[in-house]
Amino acid sequence: MKEVKFGWRISSFPVNGSKDRSFINQILKCLEEIEESLDSAWISDHFVPWAEFVPPKTDTLECWTTLCYLAGMFRKLDFGAIVLCNSYRNPALLAKMAATLQVMTNGRFILGIGAGWKHDEYRAYGYEFPKASIRIKQLEEAVQIIKKMWNEEVVTFRGKYYRIEGAYCEPKPRPPPPIMIGGGGEKLTLRVVALHADWWNIPNKTPEVYRHKLEVLREHCSKVERDFDEIKKTWVGCAAIARNKSDALKIAKRSPFTKTIGLDEMVIGSPEQVAGKLKEYVDMGVEYIILRFLDFPNTEGAKLFAREIIPRFK
């Protein structure tokens, strides 16, 4: 079994009524306690809460600013976006931003990116919201531009959606950040993953659904002549961990995330039970697992995970 890496999915908005500095302090406290044990921390890219169970006026941390701040504070962790909305940043500029962050952090950045989906957020902030097929084609062009900016001296790109002329990106990121494409659309998105992704991510899927998506991705890889095993498979989900299944289930049922994510899509139980569930994904080829600990801002679940589950995968 390959060594598995683990990350914490930071909540970009509070679900317990915390505001301003108290919410930020909760994040910092958790990062302080997991920095020695986990490999990375991740945050989503939204301007308002993505979850409908939280009012849109709730405090919400902007992804890029937060990543840069935290990466400077916690130098033992890698940091990634899960995932950046392609529509919100010009791809040439994003390539420059990512290159700079990679250089400044000495190679600790992972560029997660997706086609975007939250239409009300687009409109509220003045972005056009084309149909999904166009957003995915824009994502495909953007990833090509980003890779060119990182690897070519001067870049000109004339696509259907993006055009750049004689663009430079110096200093070059060495090594380039992995590009993790998020999404599970079987006709279009997974084809883009097969063509261009270094890593692939999909959230909150049961082992059965994840296995099916893998087979679809394998088919796309075969059609475009890409080595399926070149793509690092990742999985992100919610975790409720306690000494016994009963207490873990209470944590999960108290969490408002159960309003949008089914209990069967979460990992819930004792350390042994959670490890067993995660092993199902690892046995399918998952090499990176990213978890939202449902007892946050309490840190007991994260610490129990670090102490008793991570060593089983090393």
Q: Is 76 helix (H, G, I), strand (E, B) or coil?
A: coil
Nearest to 292 by CA among 209, 236, 245, 233: 236
- pLDDT at site 1: 66
Q: How far apart are CA 7 and CA 76, in angstroms?
A: 12
In the chain, what are the domains? Answer: 5-234 (3.20.20.30)
Give the CB-side neighbour count of residue 20, counting CA atoms within 13 A. Answer: 1
- pLDDT at site 20: 77
The DSSP secondary structure of 32-51, one letter per residue, reads: HHHTTT-SEEEE---SS-SS
Grouped pLDDT means (10 residues each) for the chain, 314 residues: 91 87 95 97 97 94 98 98 98 98 98 98 98 98 98 98 98 98 98 98 97 98 98 98 98 96 97 98 98 97 97 93
pTM, two decimals, is 0.97
- pLDDT at site 17: 77
Distance of CA 221 to the CA centre of its chain: 22
Beta strand segments in the chain, E: 5-9, 40-43, 78-81, 84-85, 109-114, 155-158, 163-167, 179-182, 199-203, 232-241, 267-269, 286-293
Q: How far apart are CA 42 and CA 66, in angstroms?
A: 10
- pLDDT at site 18: 80
